[in-house]
Amino acid sequence: MRHLISPLDLTEEETTRILDLADRIGTHKEAYAHLAEGKQLATLFYEPSTRTRLSFESAMLSLGGQTLGFAGAEQSSATKGETVADTVRVVSCYADIIAMRHPKEGAPLCASMYATIPVINAGDGGHYHPTQTLIDLLTIRQRKGRLDHLTVGFCGDLKFGRTVHSLVNSLVRYPGNKFYFISPEELRIPDYMIERTLKPSHSTYREVSDLEETLPKLDVLYMTRVQKERFFNEEDYIRLKDTYILNKEKLELAPSDMPVLHPLPRVDEISVDVDSDPRAAYFQQVQNGKYVRMSLILALLEITDPLTGEKVL
């Protein structure tokens, strides 16, 4: 039995197989429509979510399976003091696979230690968001044709941005990738990411504060919102939330084939006038989210791919 807690739980080869399956699902939907009949996905979301929770549910339904779960800690026995360990022990009796989002780092890892069914980390605090990472990798590969020798800019909240941390951890495994980290000082990439990920992989990176100056150098731009829910001080949030706003005028500084990614939801950091630009890739990411999660469910449930006759993991 396998779990997905960190993007590094998958080898590069396994990651490629997951992405390849997601591509096949996107072009041959009917072939995968009934593979999970009789299976149930439990979505245990202890904090709010729109895209991630609904895409997991849509993925399972599109595979012919069923879903159950809750969309907030207040709807669970956590309000009565039940531990994550006990919750997943109980849910393991009802479902075949779990997708868990939790505000505390490490909660899905704890869950995986007690569950008797596969657990997928759907985001834990400011730590990891491995399914979003797979979505980002698939979208970059579709847009650029490769995952290596890219110059990737990350802009916005790099301190609390779990999607940023997860994607950097994956991209450093591919040769030749370079990184620009664009943020105010208060939201810079954490030191532990530099010491544990960037330096050991001998990655080339720069920390900068000027988005306009950096745009012409990038192959990919990854925008993030400043996350109000991660701040203890509302004044700091208000001061920093509009530091970077990508609009059509600024986008003219970027290469014509530079995709703009964003894990969503956005607030003001990408102007709506960017949506019509062919470089806007964030709604493509949303569509890919369904296919990636379908791929992961099949892989972790060890269901054979009907088009290849093989299991993915």
Q: How far apart are CA 154 and CA 269, in angstroms?
A: 13
Residues 6+ apart with CB under 8 A from 66: 39, 40, 41, 60
Catalytic residue among 2, 16, 51, 188: 51
Catalytic residue among 17, 102, 127, 129: 129
Q: Please report, in angstroms and rounded to a whole number, the separation of the first and last CA atoms in the chain.
A: 10
Per the annotation, the verdict on 214 as an active-site residue is no
Largest Cα span, the chain: 56
Per the annotation, the verdict on 129 as an active-site residue is yes
Q: How far apart are CA 171 and CA 177, in angstroms?
A: 7
Per the annotation, the verdict on 141 as an active-site residue is no
Name the phi and psi angles at 182, rounded to 5: -105, 110
Catalytic residue among 52, 131, 139, 214: 52
Per the annotation, the verdict on 139 as an active-site residue is no
Catalytic residue among 3, 24, 39, 101: 101
Tokens of 238: 């208000």
Per the annotation, the verdict on 29 as an active-site residue is no
Which active-site residues does the annotation give? Answer: 51-52, 80, 101, 129
